[in-house]
Amino acid sequence: MSSAKQFTVAIVGGGIGGLTLAVGLVRRGVDVQVYEAAPALSETGLGLSIGPAAHRALPLIDARIRKAYDSLVTTHADSPGFERFRRTWFEFVWASGIRAGEMLLELKCPPTGQTTLRRTDLLDSLVSLLPLDLVRLGKRLQTVQETAGAGHRLLFQDGTSATADIVIGCDGIHSRVRLAVLPHDEALHCRPRYSGMYAYRAVLEMQTAIQAVGERRHRVATLYIGKGAYALTYPIMRAQKVNVGLYTADMERDFAHMGPLVNALIKYMPDTSSQWAILELDQVSTVCKSRVAIMGDAAHAAHASTPHQGVGAGQAIEDAHVLAELLSDPSVTTPAEAEAALRAYGAVRLPRAQRAVSTSKENAQLLCLCREGVGDDAAKLTREWQQRFRWLWDIDVEQQVQDARDAMLELLQNASCGEAHCV
């Protein structure tokens, strides 16, 4: 523990968000312990993609994370002959009707383009950057209690407990830490619920996918748009395999109208394809209370609840960047000062995260051609997608941290003036 820091941090949840924050705090000399419910570290889901903003945040958290990420990712340039698509994010293709198979839009995302990798590969890299004893497994949180000394006791289902001054919940959409953060009535009603959509996901061999719908459609990340449903594919594992996602209510029945390309894919989907209910979570009124905070899907569920923009992991990385910088700031040495850091984090990050959730829902409507005022109008869809992601991709992540730091310093100054009876 850094001699300057007089507080300890407990991170609940050992997913990508929690471990990214842990790496950032360890690098900055903050005493931290991670508690993970599962008996082994693993990630649900198959492929993962982050946008330019999170990509810029990675080296600011720890240069080793960015180095690991860049060594693992697949880009369009990994397919010989497709180097010109290096900065392409997705191609949008009509799935059915008289335009079936025609491309509506090639959306570019400079400078990174589409970068994808397996979630488990990134998780393994994060684990390798942490001390072996920093992550405690099999610790499923039951509740968080505030102690007499203003610290917190974490009670686990196995009967054990732990203490920490600061608690950060990175425990996903079914977060237990969230119950300790939200007002009582809000906590009772803020529970995940079925959104009406399912996702069917699988990984296919590249050659199998090419046999189904042709080389271009699987060498280049593709979104198939259709009435009431959509599908996506993108290359992973150095373009040796293809990640496939189908979003609807029932795979065979609800994609029957989606045209030859999507239905050709379905024929090759294995019987073991994973099926995930897409859940919804009401937007929370706050992400911190006293010295407890939530981040990632626990706070905004941009991945688990509304995955239709592919920003969940990126938002968790942005959360981790801000928290790591604030908690390690030289002006933050005591638990009370760390509380101000959590409040500043919430003030800056909550509005952006909530916007990510709401716009993700809107994007699902666009992809399913049911957005009011847009429908299947090609010109309107093109305009929407050409401008809709700029605010997500183009944010200055260093300025975001500075804004949070300024808010924190103002809180600390006000607290200091209050104690000294300043005017």
pLDDT in tens, 81-106: 999 999 999 999 999 889 999 999 99
More confident residue, 396 or 199: 396
* Distance between CA atoms of residues 180 and 293, nearest Å: 9
Are 129 and 35 in a shared domain?
yes
Instruction: Name, in order, each residue with C-beta under 8 angstroms of 259's C-beta and a sequence gap of 6 or more.
Output: 94, 95, 96, 97, 100, 101, 224, 226
pTM across the whole model: 0.92
Are 41 and 178 in a shared domain?
yes
Are 182 and 324 in a shared domain?
yes
Tokens standing for residue 327: 């908690």
Are 263 and 290 in a shared domain?
no
201 a catalytic residue: yes
Per annotation, catalytic residue among 176, 178, 201, 217:
201
Instruction: Name, in order, each residue with C-beta under 8 angstroms of 185's C-beta and a sequence gap of 6 or more.
Output: none
Which CATH number fits the domain that encloses residue 59? 3.50.50.60
- Taking alpha carbons only, the member of 24, 48, 18, 199 closest to residue 120 is 48
* Distance between CA atoms of residues 288 and 183, nearest Å: 10
What band does 228 get if pLDDT is binned at 50, 70 and 90? confident
Percent of the chain with pLDDT over 70: 93
- Summary mean pLDDT of the chain: 89
Q: Is the pLDDT of residue 44 over 70?
A: no
Tokens standing for residue 215: 């080389």
212 and 244 Cβ atoms separated by less than 8 Å: no
Q: Which of 227, 257, 280 is the last residue of a domain?
A: 280
- What is the strand order of the sheet 229-236 is part of? 103-108, 88-94, 222-226, 229-236, 241-248, 193-205, 274-280
When pLDDT is averaged across residues 318-330 and rounded to a whole number, the result is 98
Q: Is the pLDDT of residue 48 over 90?
A: no
Are 97 and 213 in a shared domain?
yes
The pLDDT value given to residue 306: 56
Are 61 and 81 in a shared domain?
no
Are 296 and 241 in a shared domain?
no
The pLDDT value given to residue 420: 40
Instruction: Name, in order, each residue with C-beta under 8 angstroms of 333's C-beta and a sequence gap of 6 or more.
Output: 4, 5, 6, 7
Are 288 and 251 in a shared domain?
no
When pLDDT is averaged across residues 401-420 and rounded to a whole number, the result is 87
Are 214 and 273 in a shared domain?
yes
Q: Which of 280, 311, 342 is the last residue of a domain?
A: 280
User: Is 29 among the domain residues?
Assistant: yes
Are 273 and 152 in a shared domain?
no
User: Is 338 among the domain residues?
Assistant: yes
Q: Which of 280, 300, 321 is the last residue of a domain?
A: 280
* Amino acid occupying residue 42: S
When pLDDT is averaged across residues 347-359 and rounded to a whole number, the result is 91
Are 62 and 205 in a shared domain?
no
User: Is 2 among the domain residues?
Assistant: no
Sign of CA dihedral 190, 193, 196, 200: positive
More confident residue, 271 or 139: 139
When pLDDT is averaged across residues 13-35 and rounded to a whole number, the result is 97
Which CATH number fits the domain that encloses residue 83? 3.30.9.30
Structural domain tally of the chain? 2
- Taking alpha carbons only, the member of 363, 413, 389, 336 closest to residue 5 is 336
Range of the domain at 276: 75-114+193-280
Are 64 and 36 in a shared domain?
yes
228 and 370 Cβ atoms separated by less than 8 Å: yes
Q: Is the pLDDT of residue 249 over 60?
A: no
